[in-house]
Structures are given as C-alpha cells and as structure tokens.
Structure 1
Amino acid sequence: MVAAHETTLRELLEGAKQYRVPLYQRTYSWTDSQLGRLWEDIRKLAEERVEQPSLTHFIGSLVLAPSPTHGPSVSEFLVVDGQQRLTTLSILLCAIRDHRAEHENPDHRDRIDQEYLINKYKPAHRLKLVPTQADRAAYEACLGATPQAGGSDQVGAAYRFFAAQLAAVDDQDEPMDIERIEDAVISGMALVSVVAHTGDNVYRIFESLNNTGLKLTQADLLRNYLFMRLPTRGEAVYDSLWFPLQKQLDSGELEQLFWLDLVHRNPEVKQTDTYTGQQTRLNGLHTEAEIEAEVRRFCRLGALLRIILHPEEEHDLEVRRRLARLNAWDTTTVLPLLLHLLDRRKEGTATSEQIASAMLHVESYFIRRLLVGRATASINRILLRVVTDMRKDLPVDEAVRSYLSVGRKHYATDARLREAVRSIPFYLNGRATQRKLVLQWLEESYGSKEPVSPGTLTIEHVMPQSPTAEWRQMLSEDLQGEESFAEAHEALVHTLGNLTLTGYNAELSNSSFLVKRAQLGKSGISLNREIADQKRWGRPEIHARADALAERIIATWPGPTEEAGNRSEVPWDVMNKALAALPAGSWTAYGDLAALIGSHPVSVGARLGNHSAPNAHRVLQAEGAVAPNFRWLDPSRKDDPRDLLREEGVEFDKYGRASQAQRIGVEELAQLAGMPQQDGSSQLLRPRSRHNNSLDDRFIEQLTDLQDAQVANGTVAVLEAWAAMGGVPLYGSGGETSCFLMARGKDHELGNIWPATIYPSGKFEIVFQHLSIRPPFDDIALREQFRQRLNELPGVKIAAAKLGLRPGFSLDVLVNAQARETLIEHLRWFYGQAVQPQS
C-alpha cells in the first residue's frame, strides 16, 4: 500500500525531516533547458499569485520510501523518484536566500536555512536534503555559501543559473518581487508525494508512474473528447469537417491551433495545458449543435493557420511578404496575433493593407529589439498578450503599434537605435539566422535589380575576429587615451558597422583590408560596395557605416509611437546576469563587459563603483590587476578582493595579476548571459570524402589558405589519427567550414558526442558545454579529467571555471610533434570513454 497526497515544498521541508538520495541514483543532471522551463513557470506563477494567492502549479510527483535507519526524532526518507526536481528546488532556495540576505536583510539567511534547508538542532541529520555522494560537496558549498559555491559542476551551474535569473528580475522599483518568487517556490509549487509503507515494492510504484509507450497527443485527446460529445452527428462531422482539417494540418500543427485558440482568451495558458484548457471550456457546451459549431470554428481557424505556416498560399502580395518574413524569423509566440489578424480580415473588420501594416510593426519591433541587445527579454509574454491587451478603439495596425510602444517592451526609438548600432555587439545577440535575416533584408532595401541568393551568403567581419599585425597597426592609429588595442577591437568587431554579407567568407577571413576591399568591390551586394569605397577600415569608418545603416533601418522599419519616450538605455541587467553566472575561480575585465553591453570600460567601472552588482569583485583590469580605485560598496569592508578571489580559486602571479587562463572573455560572457548561441550539432553535414571537391573538402582548402604549412600539416595529422582510431570528422555548413570530431553519431542510443571542433581560422575548441549533457561526460569527474589531460599540452591552460563553456587553444600548438602526439593520446582516451558500453 502507498499513501499519495498533493503537497507543497513548504510542507515537505518544514519540521525535522531528511530526504536522502540513494547512492545508486544518477548524479544531478538538470541543464539550462530544464532549469529555464522551471524558472519560467515560477516567474509566471509569482505574477499570477498577486491576484490569486491560492494558485498553484503542479510540477510532478515525488516517490519516497521510509529509510531503513528511520529514527524517532527525524523523519527520514529515501528519494526513489523526483530527486532532480527536489534538488533543483533546494538549490533555488539557496540562491534566493543569498540574494535576499545580500540585497534585503541578512536575517533571511538564518530564516530560510532553518525553515527549509537544515535541521539546526539535529547535527546528525543536519541536511534536510542529502544528495548522492558525487554531488554532496558541491551542494554543501551552495548550502554553506562558501567561496566554492557556484562552481563549474552541474549543481554549481544550477546555482549560478538561478542567481543570474534573480539578479535579472530584481526590480528596485518593486520591493516585493523576490519575496513573491520565494512564496511561489515554497507555497505554489505543487507535488504529489507518494509514500510507500515499509516493505512495499517502491520500484513497482516507480515503474507504474513512469510507464513508457506511445502516448496520445493533446490533439488526439481533444479529438476523442469532441467526438465523444457527438453520439449521433459524429460520422458526418468527421467526414465533412474534421477529416479536411487533418489534411490541412499535421498533428503538431493541430495541437498548436488548439493552443492558439486558448491564448486569445488567456495569454498565460501553457501549451502543455492545451487539452485540459479546451476541455474545461467545452464543458460549458451542452448540445451536439454547439459542439459541431466549435468544430466548424476550428476548421475556419485551421485554414487561416495553414496560410500562416505556408505564406505562399496567401493571395495578397504584401500580406504574403510580411507573413513570409515573420515565418523566417521563427518565433511561435507571434502566431496568436497573426491568427487574430487573418481572422479580423475574414470577418471584414480589417483590410489586407491594415494587417500587412500591423505585421510590419511586429517585424520592426523584432529587428529594433535585436539591434539594441534586447532580442529575448520578456518577448514571449509581451507577444502573447497583444490580442487581449491592445486597444479595441483603433484600427488594428495602429492598435498593435500602440501596444508595443508603451511600458517596458524595448521597442527602440530612433535615438536609441542610432546609439546602439554603433556600440551593441550585434553579432553576439539573437540567433544566427535572425542576424543574417536583418542583413539580408537591409540588402533588399537597396532595391537592387540583381537579386542575390541568400543561401550562398554568410556574415563576414570586415575587421576580423582574429586580427593580423596589419590590422593591429591600422586600429592602433585610432586608440584614445589609455585605451588598449584589445578594448578597441572588442568594442568594434561585433558591431553592425563591421559586418556584411558575402559568399567569400573563408577566402576573405583574416586578409588585409586591401585584399578585402578588392574582393568586396566585385560583389553584386550593395552593402559591400559601400565598404569597398573606403581607403582604410578603422573606428571612424566603422562608426560612419553604422550611422548610415541606422538611418536606413529607421527609414525601412518604423519605430514606436511618441508615447514610448526613450526608456531603453544601457542594458545593465544583461551585465548583472552575466556577472551572477560567473563561475567561482574565474574573472572578467571591464572591457569584456563593456563589449558585451555596448558600453565603455570607464562607464562599466563607474557603474560597478556605485551600484550593487553580483560578483563585482571578479571584474579586473585587462591585465588581471585590481583597479586602483576599486572599493567595496559596503564602506565597512577593507579586505583585499584578491584574497577573496584566491579563496575562490583564482591564481595570481608575483605582480598581483590574475591568470589570463581563468579570464572569461566577451563571447563566453554572452554564453553566461543566456544569449542564444549557434548550435553546432544542427549544422553537421557528412564525413570528408577524397572523391569530390565540394563542401566536405572546403575545410582542408580553408585550412591551407589561412594557416602556414606546419600548422595545416599538424592539424591534418590529428584528423588522420582521429579517423584511424574510429572517429569520424564531420563538417559544418557555415562560411567557415568547421570540423567536428565525432566519436558517436546521432543514431547511437546515447546520442551523438564530439570532444572538439576545429576552425580553419585557428582555434581548437573544446566543447565542455555540449559534453555536460552527453553521457558518460555528463559526469563532471570525466570532464575534469579531460581538462587536466589537455593541460598537459605545452602552451595550453584551460581553467576549471570553464568546464561549462567552450574554451580552446590555438592550432599553433599542433606544430610541436610532442604536443600533437599527446593530444592524440588524450583524444584516444576520450574516444574509448565515449564508445564503451554503458552499464
């Protein structure tokens, strides 16, 4: 027998209790995707509980068994199932405790500890949650808020994730926001607690709760429900309405249709609640005629969704163009609005011209947000509320523009756009496909009569990401004051003014501007001919091009109404999110942060000197020294930040400079801040073949073009050794043809895995971020062993703090024969670990 009841985290953790994860359970393994879904649920629930305090959100079950050592003073349980979510929620409580203790009142530390995290007066059972042994040290570091908290292991990554989210949502104008988050976690997260009796077969219970097999989709469930309600009209309704609808939309699209229909009434409804939401609504209907009318309405909306998903079927040219563009942008949260717009036209309350204009405002909204570094901030919530919240007394296009213009929606004004295009690292924001679309649509705005196929084009950095001595000399002429070359380069290289489209990305790469100018001058792309007209390419030229592009953007994509004002300023919240996610044992520089948010190192320093920010002591000067004017915000603190950094694991030389190997650069900061990254696994193509000279041979061509013969030969030797041991080199489809060292393919039962990606431009990238979710390297001990092995190579020093990122080393290392053989030996070890049978 078992006892099952719904409970909350508060009820589970209050009192003298201990939940022990058995040693045979797998280690903690939640990644950003699961953490992100949980956080979004908690954030929404916290908002909803302001109006409905008793509202809860069900997050699953917890299967418990009485511990064999169950004692009289503490209730002890083994966690048979649900340890991942229980551990996650406990880590989140640690992050909330630390945030509130630092920013509100130190008393929150003891309160949260004693109520939910520890049994203060039971030293033998101090921890309320005892993770499996492999995770215990990392969890206790979070629990004790030691300098090692937030390390590069999975537990530390979860702690940093939540610390970053809390820093991002903490609004100084809203003192209760973090308290509401805590309340949602403690009282709003509902679980079913299944407690077995002593002697019960808990694994039989577990098996029944996790029964596998082909499950009905929500569309299947809704169809079954509808036709259950049509006992006499079912066959006729199916033949005349439902079957044609199923021919128009597949199962996933049908489910999407039913969710979109609910969103028009309730923007907060989750796609996972589609069936229950529709069932609740349809329970209010009582006759077969009413149910049949609903099916007929679904068919009408299905025909409109078909047009949205297949814009080529739209009859109006401008509506078709706007639908195609929003389709290419690839965000499902705009679908409720698009369905509403087409439905308005169908009902005769809006014209094709008006709905095309409304779609242009949405397109402009997306593009302007991307250009000012706000591509993703709250955008799902904003878009899902357009239909319910926009004004009903205006034409639909004016209503959409007005809604997007007011409040904190980041619809950038012309003034903010002009400023941001000069400084924001456009190349690090949004998805790669979206960045390319902006440049592609900019090119179309020139109205060239010679169309260029976008499929052959890639984004090119005119001033290269890895500058040669010639480029260094050119940019050095533009340095200002105490500015270093690295700071100037990082401030310019990823901005829109330095980017263009070309089909010759690999051929151009690190070439001098003289070579690039000649090649770009031959291009049929208007964006390139403007660059070719310049005699040099430094800061003045990049800024001038940024200014010209800003004016073209303003003319092409309309801005918000005058109600918007100019609220959008420097995205300090993005900086705080990156800082909160900095692993213990790492540091970053003022210039790195400035490049991330489109600011200046001096401005970053001034901000950190006068405003609270997470881990501000981990921000140093570029050479690794503490800034001379550094001071703690707490005037009572006089300790040297270097002492704290040493405790956290940062190494200093005899001159007091932090190790550059432990520095987190701008691209790694972008990863930590949650900016969407290119997913290499989606770009894998096929093994290299010596029987053709198409894409699979381009890697070798680019390698020999961009590197000297010794580097190219050393790299090829590593590839040959990888193939000899059983690995497969696979190649990417980007302008620079990257090479993935595949140990397992995607058809393997454990999924694909690769240890590294080689870039012809000169980087051997170790993909720890990818490995963290691929067995057996989801075990941090194996990743750490791999890191230590790689650090045996001369000239390679990868910091432990980067075990969750994608660090790398120069291909120059492979010139040394001993280093090359050592690397091959360690790759052979990796391959053996990856392909050995799993127990």
Structure 2
Amino acid sequence: MDVRPLYHPVGELFKYQPVYRVPAYQRSYSWEQLEIEDFIRDLENCYNKRKYDKAVVHFFGQIVCIEEKLQGTYDLSYFELVDGQQRVATFILLVLSLKKTYESIIIEIQGEAEFINQKNILNERIQDLSKRYLFFQKEVLESFEEINVLELSNRDKVFFRAFIRNIEAPQQRESHRLIRQAFDMIHKKVNEITFSANLKDRLGNLKTIEQILENDFCILNMITGDRKAAFKLFQVLNNRGKNLTEGDLLRAESLRILEPFPANQGVVEEAWDNILSDTPILTERFLRAIYGSHTGSKASANSLFNEFLTHFIPEYDFEFIEPKNAEEIQVKVKNIETDIAILRKINHGQWPYEQKQPIEHWDRNRIHLLIHAFDHTACLPFLLSASLLDHKEFNKIIHVIERFVFRYLIVCNQYIGDLIMIYTEEAKVLRDNPQAYTAQNLIARLKPLIDRSDDEMFNRLLDDFKYQQTGGKSNKPLKYFLLTMEYYFRWYKDGANGEPTCMDKERVYDFGDSTIEHIYPNNAQGAVIDQTLEPLKNTIGNLTILGNADNRTGDNDDFETKRPIFKDSSLMMNREDVANTANWDNAAIELRTADLKKMALRIFTI
C-alpha cells in the first residue's frame, strides 16, 4: 500500500496552491453545534497559550487524500479528500472569518489618513489568505481561471463556492444551514477573543489566529495514489470527525464504484440522499430490516456495512466494472430506496397499500398499535416482505402478529430472539415465493412458541398485568388490552365462533385520546375509600376504558355516582357489563377479572 503520511501544521496543507476536491461519494457538511463548540474550545485554548504563555500544538487527527494531476495545468496536482472534509472545510471557515474581520476593520478606518499603513497591511493579509485558503488565479488550458482551494461534494459545491465569496446563495439543504451556523459561531468567537479598542493590538491578536493555523493546528496528511487503499483508510480513520454511519459508508462505497459512470452515479447519489434522510438510528433500523428481509438472516451487531455491501453491491470487490454492472448497481440502490419508502410507512404505523375494501380503518389501525403501543419493530423485516402480498393477506398477518406479540412478549415476557429468527427466515421464504405464502405459513412457525406461553401461564400472568402508578413503565399495553376486549366483546358474547372478529369496525377509538378508567377510584378520598378494594384497584378487573366521546367527570366518585357515566358510555362493555353490576365490591372485581381472562384466552391465540 503506497501511502505517504505527512505530519505537519495546517498551514502546510495550503501552501503551493493546493487544490482539494470532495468526491461525490462523500457526505455533505455535517458538523453541528457540538462539533463546532469543540473546535472553538481548541482554538481559544491555543490562542490563550500562544498569547499569554507558550504556544502549544493541537493535533486535529488525519485526512486521507488521493493525489492526481489537475487536468489543463502544467504543474498542479489536486487532492481528492477521501476523509477529512469536515476538518478542512472548518479550517477554511476560520480563514473566512479572519478575512471578513479584516474587511470590516478596513471599513471602520476608511478615510482616516493616520491608518493608511494599517489599511495596506490589512489588504495584504486579505490577499494572502484568499490566495492560500480560498481561491487563486491559475493558467488552465492557456487561459486564466479562478480555482477554488476547496470544492465540496455536489450537494454543497455551489453554496460553499458562493458563501466564501460573500455571494448570496439559497440555503436549500440542512448542510447549507450547518455551514452558515459553523461560520457564525466561529466568527463570533474570533471577534470576541481578538477585539481591542487599540487597532494595533487588535491586528496583533488577529495575526495570532493566523499563526495558530500556520503553526499550532496540526494534521496527519495521508496521501496515496491507490484508490482502494484510500477508501480502506477512510472506513477506519474517523477519530476526530463525526463518526460515519453504516449508511454513509454504503453511500460512499457505491458512489466510489460508479465514478467511471457519472450518469449512473448521479441517479444513485440522489437515491442515497433520500435513503439517508432519516435519523441515523432510524436509517440503521431500516437497513437492517432490508438486509433481514432479503437474506433471511440478521446482520451482526458490528458488521452491517460489510454484510450489506457483500449481499447487495458485490461489485465493490471487482477490479473493473462494466456498464452493465453500473446499471445493476443503480437498479439495486433504487430498489433499496423503494424498500425504505415502505418501511417508513410501516414504522410510522401507516398502511402500506392503497385504501380499499374490504380492509377498514379499524384494520389499518392495527399496524399503528403493533408498532407504537407495543414498540414492536422487530417484525419490520417480515412486514417488508409481506408487503409483496395481497392487502387482504397482509391484513391477516398483521392480526396474527398483533395477538401473538401481546401474549408471547408483552404478558408472558418470553425470549424475543427466537421470534426475530422466525421473522427473518420467513421473510426470505415469503420473498422467494410470495404467490404461495399465506398467514398460515407464519402461524405454523409461531405455534411452537405458543407452547412456551400456554394457557395456564398466560392466565396466571394476567393477574400481574396491572396499572402502573410509578416506575416509568408504560400503560400503553394495558390500554391496548382493554380496548381489544371492547372490540371483540360482541364476538365473544355471541359465542366466540371462528377466528376472533371485530363485529363493529366502524367504532374506532383513538388510542391517544382514550383513557384508562379506574371503576373504584384510583385516588379515592373520604367516605369513598374502601380498604378492601384498595389492593385490587389497579388490577384488570377494576379497569376499563372511556372513549374520546365519553363524559370523564366523576373520576374520584363512588360507583353509584359513576354508574350513569358507564351506562351512557360509547363502549359496549361499559354499558352491558360494568353498568349492570349491582355492587362494585371484591366479588364484582374478581368476577370481572375472571371474565376478562376467559375472553383473553379466546382472543389472544393463533
């Protein structure tokens, strides 16, 4: 591996008219407030040391460059910044701050004859900084052109070029906002630490900042002509920069491979921009779901990048790629983009199909409850594959998973690893032959797990399924349970024949607006307090749901006062069950608990 590591001050990077280019496969500018605050602290520390003590060296990590000849010139090379653009761009923003400060001082002293010498000094500094760090004139193909010292990747190139020239440019991307934010923070600090009412002192202070760049800020510059070697370094050397995610690395590698094919590269770059538009955590979740859906296995905790790349873009290992390979990569990345769009819908609890009969709003709402009431995202690889099925079969699968997860994971707290294995294995089986797959295939795989949460265990653990007063535990699963009892109440009362069925799907209760109601009050006071009921007040037998249209007055009243609320409730189990109970005592709570558990055994089965 031909790599020349050069350890030198930042000033050395910008001598002899260097030209740095950020390739298309690099991400856009991404240093946020936290990283810039770190940079400013380093700057201020070096400033104070150099001015009041003894200059110190501050190591800013490494950059990785590929050196190539700059076409059209006789003596210039350009350096493709494989790693380090965040640092280099931020150094240039510091220089831009110095330049703008010098320009503002010139305006302040304009017309004052006694400062003519200082004005000349300032103009000389501006010219020197501009030529070294921003842009310079050079003969290219026998004519003079203005060459940018640094050009960022496509998404930031035009904005950054205008920004360093003080030309107004539309701020169209998050990275543009971050560039402006970084400059504003640096500029504010530079003016804060260098300001002096005495112009001579102020110029000296600003020169100190230049000296820090020239001598104190140091970098390890790793230069190579070997592209593969450079990219290997790029993957592992990110100790100062903001850590690259697996998505960033996948984007970078696929775009690097497509460098000989700019048309394909442009399409793939746009697709990756869309793929990576979520938070890094969400993007990783989606990429893992796609990997599991297509391969039938779970990517290892620390090797998603390598495993995903090997499966989806094996061309990364080709010495040369042909036009047909570039087309194949483009198709595969566009397919990933399509998968991401489906996963976004599912992850947000949205139905991934057009809305059409016989699927009702009630059915579509089940996916929202599965993902958000249970926080169950482990099923995403399987649901991504299941989206290849007819919408009616997908609906059946959602119902199976919903009832199974509540019993197996929420109540019985069984091991999720075996379920994840089933999800990924069945995802591949389904994807290989969607025409032959039905909900029954999934049920057959889940049946052995039901044995671990048999009726006796499920019945017993429902006694521990209580309203949580404190401790940070969510009551969302309990709310889901009570709402589900309501939805299947008429089916159960009519004999519970066949598959559990909601008999009135027009009644959909908003999960967020519905509330858990204690029949014997949660906060009973005075004469309402019944010491025999206090131990039972948070058990399922004493709990019900009030819908968003129900009257919520009387929370802390006794049962007789609250009976009219239950009698007029929009929920059938309140009207026909709770309101018709003669006395709300221990016997009533225990009887209702037993009834709810019997109903649950019929509903939560597959």
Using structure 2 for the length normalisation, give the TM-score. Answer: 0.47
Answer with 1 or 2: which has the greater Rg.
Answer: 2
